[in-house]
Every structure is written in C-alpha cells, then in structure tokens.
C-alpha cells in the first residue's frame, strides 16, 4: 500500500478539479465507447466527463473506478488513500506508511470496517477548528460519507467553491446546514441545500485525527 509523502498530504483543490485528466488516464488505451459500455452508461456521458462538461454521480464514479481498477479516492481527488492499493501496485503491504506514522492494516479494518477502502489521509492547514483540531494535525476522512442529504452533525472535509476546508457541519432545519468553526474567531454561516449554486461539495467525514506533541 502506498500513501502520499508529507508535502502531498493535504488534498488540493487544483487536484480535485483535474478529474478529466485522471479520467483520461483511467480510460487509457481503451476506446471511449467500449469503456463506457463496461461502466454501464453511454459514450456521450463519458465524453461529457472527459470534457469537464459534467461531473459523475457517485454510482458512475464507482463504476468508472471498478472498470479501470483504480482507487475511487484517487479518481475523485487525486489523493492516494490509507488502506487502499495504489492503482500502479499489484499487491498490498501490511502497513500503510505516512511519515512518521504507520497505520497497521488490521487496526484500520477493525476501526473502520465500512470505510477501510475509502479512507483519505489529509492535514489540517489552519487554526479554524481549534481546540478540537490544530493546524498540522493529520485526519482520516471517510469518503463514503459524502451525501449532503444525510448530514446531521459532524466534522467534514468540504469543498467550498475552490477551497478545501475542514469544518463542523450541523443540519438545523428547512434544508439548511450550518458551517461552524470551533475557533471563536471564525464566524459561522449557513448554506441552503436546495440552492444548486451553493458551491458546497462534501468530500467525506473526519473519523480520526493524530497530533505531533513535540
């Protein structure tokens, strides 16, 4: 198993927006029509994804990853995930390395049985979630949990416009989410889920964090 080096740990908005590039890599030398047929949708739909005209639904993303035999998280964000194989590797190792950390595979499977294959390791880049999460903390994100309709309360990795942030989300009422920071200097704000122009995309729920105490 392979994991990003420290300077690659933080998911980057530019990488997220380069989905068509990664999709072309996933399709490889296969014909667009044949690849789309194997995925279960039309070549017109696949061409729209390749041209950046539309983004795939979660079922479509899963179908593409399964057909191309690549990681769903790499396909969606460009990041390699803790606990899953790099698409260029044929075998798995016993440990997932993240200098200076090593995640034991059995522990990951036991702690996150429903998310093991879809864990993203990222880094907290600001102080907005202090004291809960501090700048520099490492966080494991369950990228299975990406449905805005099921959010009640929790800490999530979100894409807001072109920025990737870690924030606390809380459903309050009337199809409204509150976006909260634990640091009092950062103001909370609300987003209407019914507004398609809200600019909010859910990348996953934070399920673990680690901190260097030195």
* pLDDT one-digit tens code per residue, 111-146: 888 888 788 888 888 999 999 999 988 899 898 888
Average pLDDT estimate for 65-71: 83
Task: List every span in the chain annotated with CATH 1.10.260.40.
Answer: 19-77
As a whole number, the mean pLDDT across the chain is 78
* pLDDT one-digit tens code per residue, 52-63: 888 888 778 888
Q: pLDDT tier at 9 (50, 70, 90 boundaries)? A: very low
Average pLDDT estimate for 41-65: 84
Kindly indicate whether the domain formed by 143-210 is annotated with CATH number 3.40.50.300: no
Average pLDDT estimate for 82-94: 38
DSSP one-letter string for the chain: -----GGG-S--HHHHTTHHHHHHHHHTTS-HHHHHHHHTS-HHHHHHHHTTSS---HHHHHHHHHHHT--HHHHHHS--EETS--TT-SS--SEEEETTEEEEHHHHHHH-TTTGGGEEEEE--SSTTTTTS-TT-EEEEETT---GGG--EEEEEEEETTEEEEEEEEEEETTEEEEE-SSTTSPPEEEETT-TTS-EEEEEEEEEEE----
pLDDT at 90: 27
The pLDDT of residue 96 is above 50: no
Choices 1.10.260.40, 3.40.47.10, 1.10.1740.10, 3.40.190.120: CATH for 19-77: 1.10.260.40
Average pLDDT estimate for 67-72: 83
pLDDT at 70: 82
Average pLDDT estimate for 143-158: 88
The pLDDT of residue 169 is above 50: yes
The more confident residue out of 134 and 13 is: 134
- Give the separation between CA 155 and CA 142, rounded to whole angstroms: 11
Average pLDDT estimate for 12-32: 76
Task: List every span in the chain annotated with CATH 2.10.109.10.
Answer: 143-210
The whole model's pTM is what? Answer: 0.54
């Amino acid at each position: 198993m392979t994991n990003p080096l420290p300077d690659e740990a933080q998911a980057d908005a530019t990488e997220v927006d380069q989905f068509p590039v990664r999709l072309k890599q996933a399709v490889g030398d296969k014909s667009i029509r044949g690849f789309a047929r194997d995925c279960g949708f039309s070549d017109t739909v696949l061409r729209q994804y390749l041209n950046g005209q539309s983004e795939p639904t979660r079922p479509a993303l899963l179908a593409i990853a399964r057909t191309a035999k690549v990681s769903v998280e790499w396909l969606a964000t460009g990041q390699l995930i803790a606990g899953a194989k790099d698409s260029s590797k044929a075998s798995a190792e016993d440990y997932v390395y993240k200098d200076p950390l090593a995640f034991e595979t059995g522990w990951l499977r036991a702690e996150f049985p429903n998310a093991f294959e879809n864990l993203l390791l990222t880094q907290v880049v600001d102080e907005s979630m202090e004291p809960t999460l501090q700048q520099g903390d490492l966080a494991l994100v369950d990228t299975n949990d990406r449905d805005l309709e099921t959010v009640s309360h929790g800490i999530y990795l979100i894409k807001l416009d072109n920025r990737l942030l870690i924030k606390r989300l809380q459903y309050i009422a009337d199809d409204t989410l509150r976006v909260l920071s634990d640091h009092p200097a950062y103001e909370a704000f609300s987003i209407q889920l019914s507004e398609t122009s809200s600019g909010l995309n859910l990348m996953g729920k934070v399920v673990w964090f680690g901190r260097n105490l030195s």
